[in-house]
Amino acid sequence: MELNEMVLVSVDDHVVEPPHLFDGRLPAKYVDLAPKFVTRDDGSNAWVYEGNEIGNVALNAVAGRPKDEYGIEPTSFAELRAGCYDIDERVRDMDANGVLGSLCFPSFPQFCGQLFARTEDKDVALAMVRAYNDWHIGEWCGTHPGRFIPCSLPAIWDPQVLADEVRRTAAMGAHAVTFSENPSKLGWPSVHSDHWDPFWTACSDEGVVVCMHIGSSSALVIAAPDAPIDCLITLTPINIVQAAADLIWSPMFRKFPDLKVALSEGGIGWIPYFKERIDYQYRQHHIWTGQDFGDKLPSEVFDEHVLTCFIDDRFGVSGRAALNLDHVMWECDYPHSDSTWPFSPEQLWEHFDGVSDHDIDRITHLNAMRHFSYDPFAALGGREQCTVGALRTKAAGHDVSIRSTKRAEVAHAGPKSTALTATILKAAAE
């Protein structure tokens, strides 16, 4: 296989929601209560909902910007690459990057809909979630058939309402739903309780993958609030390791044998040791702790139920013999600061020295297609139309140059302070 023959499906990207999102999608009695898109005095944009402003953070939308302009200052749509929020431009950016398919997580509602879950009137909250899902599935994913994997926003405050929305959106083609990596941090029962059983049941029945993105607990891992920002960024995948431990030692996989959970943006290099550790723990302690996996080891349960993905993880790929390679997928993370756009094929290809064509296909697209009930080949005329080379040929002339933003000199006048860490922690918790 050559680089241009790969087919790339990213299972973790992001959308910066456009201002018209709620237009025409709410019952009349809720229209005036919808989030409003505003421009602040400093020129940055924000959403206003129930009197609170939710701004875009630059690190969440830096595609096309020089790395020396990365930061956490508020941004305006005028400073963003159009592919962040415009579906047609997003597809052009995907073509130029050789990426066929994309699963996109939300931005301003937060990863698992925490914003709407805080709404006091839950009828209003549900109306907002349903409107968001109708937009995401119908417009964002529906405008270009075959290019997107729909992922619904959860009505996370009530497990039965959540289950009903999962069933509604599954009927619309959404076989993924976001969820918290640790709901107990958000004030709800943990995955160790039976609170979420209606939700797990619905996902199992409908073939819906539960996607837990790093940071979806609104509680990032950090050693000290005055640690440099580098420490925070380094540790973000550790949230996923904690989530994996919760999942394995909870009863959910034993109660729901068809359930699949995807750990989004957590990488894969940690998995071999994690599996060794949980098996050792089980052999040493299960008699007195009361854990019982029957004739299986915890690592086998992990391999059966947990899907993982990576952006850049050469060590993880080199250790693929210790992984269930049918559950490993790739992600681009567009337009976030970790994204490999517009050179994703080149960077990923460096991981594949000595990897068989079959294994490359599993990682790059076959696993995603199977787990998310996603068939782009049928929609787009076969595999030959979906390769890196074919997509880039179609995108010939599309501008992917790096451009400075108009406020760069003001926003990045000084060195990065360790106070940034505390700022991000506060924003994540809100």
pLDDT tens sequence across 74-132: 688 888 899 999 999 999 999 999 999 999 999 999 999 999 999 999 999 999 999 99
Element (H, E) at 148: strand 148-149
What is the rounded CA–CA span in Å between residue 75 and residue 86? 16
Q: Which of 185-194, 211-220, 290-299 has the lowest mean pLDDT?
A: 211-220
pLDDT tens sequence across 10-21: 999 999 999 999
Q: Name the pLDDT band for 39 (thresholds 50, 70, 90).
A: very high
Q: Name the pLDDT band for 409 (thresholds 50, 70, 90).
A: very low
What pLDDT does residue 60 have?
74
Share of the chain above pLDDT 90, in %: 80
What pLDDT does residue 294 have?
94
What is the rounded CA–CA span in Å between residue 367 and residue 308? 10
- Mean pLDDT value of segment 357-373: 98
Query: Is pLDDT at 40 greater than 80 in this prediction?
Result: yes
What is the rounded CA–CA span in Å between residue 136 and residue 131? 9
Share of the chain above pLDDT 70, in %: 93
Q: Name the pLDDT band for 415 (thresholds 50, 70, 90).
A: very low
Query: Is pLDDT at 413 greater than 50 in this prediction?
Result: no
CB 216 within 8 A of CB 181: yes
Count other C-beta atoms under 10 Å from residue 187's C-beta.
10
For residues 64-89, one letter each, b for 16 or more C-beta atoms within 10 angstroms of the residue's C-beta and e for the rest, the string is bbeeebebbbbbbbebbbebbbbbee
Which CATH number applies to 3-34+82-396: 3.30.230.70, 1.10.357.10, 3.40.50.720, 3.20.20.140? 3.20.20.140
Q: Tell me whether strands 328-330 and 306-310 are parallel, antiparallel or unpaired.
A: parallel
In order, the DSSP letters of 330-357 are E---TTSTT--TT-HHHHHHGGGTT--H
Residue with tokens 């004739």: 295
- Token reading at 113: 């809909």
What pLDDT does residue 428 have?
54
Q: Name the pLDDT band for 427 (thresholds 50, 70, 90).
A: low
Q: Name the pLDDT band for 411 (thresholds 50, 70, 90).
A: very low
